Chains A and B, each alone.
Chain A
């Protein structure tokens, strides 16, 4: 198992006072709380912080832990000494919920629970819910899909302990799911205790970046480059949608930034419809040759046009 440097995890010196430990813990717990912090490793950091505090806030556990000395590095391979009897201390049951703490914690302090409390089987308790974030493609959200996800999932080891292991999960991506929505998978969370039901798994959806589509709730946005003559004269253009290519009519005299709506080409469910919003982006061709410059010169002569009237000039 890997050694855990609880002082380093809380960012404090080894001689930190109890108040300093509490302050460091509270500050980091706020920062890395998984409901607040959306970084990928937030949940793991939050657990580490809780575990470090569980040990360092308790003077008996702390002094037992301190006996390993200051020379260990986080992540170093560690084995408790053969005479390790929790440092000769009698630990009382943990106050907090220690489920999901590291092997390191379990090896050093885990036995206290088993010895002091009644056998676990007497408690019939539902397993904890689990949260995970998954990223899917816009295409899968549009059509619906079947996917195999790789998630760190709770599994029971030989000793009946819960450990997190990478596991595959096959699931249906429902048609019309949108970013920020959650899917509840009943019974796929932590195993229950003493015959209790397992918890649920909640998956939060986000979209993988797409080369040209961007989703805003149910609507799909596309910037469509057009030529000045397509915008001025009108045209029927081929436009990509998540549903394949469609023909879009550009009305004559369309300005740059004009938005056109393709109904039903967004993320739709049986209950609600999303659209694709096409924003025209007029792109000017460069005038390289004399003939090309002539076209612009002739426009300048024939178009009485001042785009700066709003500026009073």
Chain B
């Protein structure tokens, strides 16, 4: 690449069609394996695959786990509370999108 050409950063789209492993999910979210396992048990995220070594998560899970980590850290919301907040936020986003199409 020449000095004069501008570099454009290429990001990764975190969508439903791409996946990450259990290890990647923990690393990207700064969460421990135990924390993420608890989130799975709470139904906040759902892995595909039989056991932990085969688990894979859609990239959308990253945002869910990060939100839980922040809500817990900043507002001391517990896990069932975080699950509820996420569901309500999803509903709110859907309603907002519907209202903006009117």
- Interface positions of A (Cβ within 8 A of B): 26, 29-30, 33, 35-36, 38, 46, 50, 126, 129, 146, 169-172, 174, 177, 179-186, 188, 200, 202-203, 214, 216, 221, 269, 271-272
Contacts and interface: CB of A to CB of B under 8 A. Distances in A.
B66 interface: yes
Contact of A183 (B11, B71, B85, B101): B11
Given A36-B89, A216-B97, A216-B101, A172 B67 contact: no
A221 B9 contact: no
Contact of A33 (B7, B11, B74, B97): B74
B50 interface: no
B9 A172 contact: yes
B contact residues, range: 20 to 34
A271 B89 contact: no
Contact of B101 (A38, A172, A200, A214): A214
Contacts of B84: none
Given A50-B74, A203-B11, A271-B17, 13 more contacts: A30-B75, A33-B70, A35-B89, A36-B85, A38-B96, A46-B74, A126-B30, A172-B9, A181-B15, A182-B13, A182-B14, A202-B14, A202-B66
B10 interface: yes
Interface of B: 6-15, 17, 28, 30, 62-63, 66-67, 70-71, 74-75, 85, 89, 93, 96-97, 100-101
Contacts of B96: 38
Contacts of A126: 30
13 contacts: A33-B70, A35-B85, A35-B89, A129-B66, A146-B8, A170-B7, A180-B93, A184-B12, A188-B9, A202-B14, A202-B66, A214-B101, A221-B101
Contacts of B28: 184, 200
A182 to B, nearest CB: 5
Nearest to A203: B11
B67 A35 contact: yes
Nearest to B82: A35
A269 B15 CA distance: 11
A221 B17 CA distance: 23
Contact of A184 (B11, B67, B89): B11
A303 B2 CA distance: 73
Contacts of B70: 33, 35
A179 B97 contact: yes
Given A29-B74, A33-B71, A129-B66, A272 B89 contact: no
Contacts of A146: 8
Contacts of A46: 74
A221 B102 CA distance: 11
Contacts of B14: 181-184, 202
A183 B13 contact: yes
Given A33-B71, A35-B71, A185 B13 contact: no
B16 to A, nearest CB: 9
B11 A171 contact: yes
Contacts of A170: 6-9
Nearest to B63: A182
A203 B70 CA distance: 17
A179 to B, nearest CB: 7
Question: Residue among B9, B93, B96 with the most chain A CB within 10 A?
Answer: B9
Question: Residue among A177, A182, A200 with the most chain B CB within 10 A?
Answer: A182
A46 B71 CA distance: 13
B31 to A, nearest CB: 12
B4 to A, nearest CB: 13
Contact of A185 (B11, B62, B63, B75): B11
Contacts of A272: 17
Question: Residue among A183, A221, A271 with the most chain B CB within 10 A?
Answer: A183
